[in-house]
Amino acid sequence: MEWIFKPWPWFIGGPMIALVLFLLLYFGKNFGMSSNLRTLCTICGAGKSSEFFNFDWKKQQWNLMVSLGAILGGGIASQWLSLDSSVLIHPDTIAKLQELNIESAGTAYLPDELFSLEALLQPKVLLILAIGGFLVGFGARYAGGCTSGHAISGLSNLQLVSLYAVIGFFAGGLLMNHFLLPYIL
C-alpha cells in the first residue's frame, strides 16, 4: 500500500480517470466538469436575465456532488494520502522556472510565487489568477467543454469536434507557455 502515499505514476492516474468516466456513464451521466461553472451562474440568478442560464439547475445536482467530492478528494489526498507533496518535475523545467523567478519549482505542489496567500497581495499575481480563471471559464463554455468533456469524454467517444477543441487547448497552452509566460512571470 506504500505506493498510495507517493505521487501516482501516469499508469495509475490515467486508468483511474477512465474508471471515473466509466462510473459516471454506468450511473447514467456524462463526464464534464466545466458544466458546473454554468450551473453556479444559474444558482446565482443568471437565468433571470439570460436564456443561456435559464435551466433547471437541480438536474445538474449530481454534477455539483461530483465537484463537492473533488473538493473532499483533494483534502483527503493532501491530508492523509501524501507524505511529501513536492512535485518532482524535470530538472530542465526546474532550472527554466528558476530563471523566471519561480524559486519553489521542485519543492512545492503549486508555485508559492503564484498561490501563497502572501503572493495574492501583489496586483500582478492577482491579475494572473483572475485572467487565467476568466479565460478557462469563458473558453470552456465557448468550446462547449474542458479537459474532461473534450479531451477525455469527447475524444473517447471519437468526436471529431473534440479533437478541434483539444488542438485549440494545446495551441493556446503552447502560446501562453512559450511566448507569453516568460514576459508575465
Name which of residues 145 to 184 contact other proteins (CB under 8 A).
145-148, 150-159, 161-162, 164-178, 180-181, 184
- Least distance in angstroms from the C-beta of 19 to other proteins: 7
Q: Which is nearer to other proteins, 57 or 115 (CB)?
A: 115
Tell me which DSSP letter residue 103 carries: T
Q: Where are the alpha helices (DSSP H) in the chain?
A: 10-26, 35-43, 61-80, 91-99, 112-115, 123-142, 155-156, 160-174, 181-184
Report the site for other proteins in 79-118 (rule: CB under 8 A). 81-82, 87, 89-90, 92-93, 96-97, 105-106, 108-111, 114-117
Residue 114: all three cell numbers together: 503564484
Half-sphere exposure at residue 138, Cβ-oriented, CA atoms within 13 angstroms? 6
Is 60 near other proteins (CB under 8 A)? Answer: no
Binder to other proteins among 11, 48, 56, 83 (CB under 8 A)? 11
Report the site for other proteins in 31-50 (rule: CB under 8 A). 33-34, 36-38, 40-41, 44, 46, 50
- Least distance in angstroms from the C-beta of 47 to other proteins: 10
User: What are the angstrom distances between the C-alpha of 113 and each of 44, 85, 97, 129, 168?
Assistant: 32, 16, 11, 12, 28
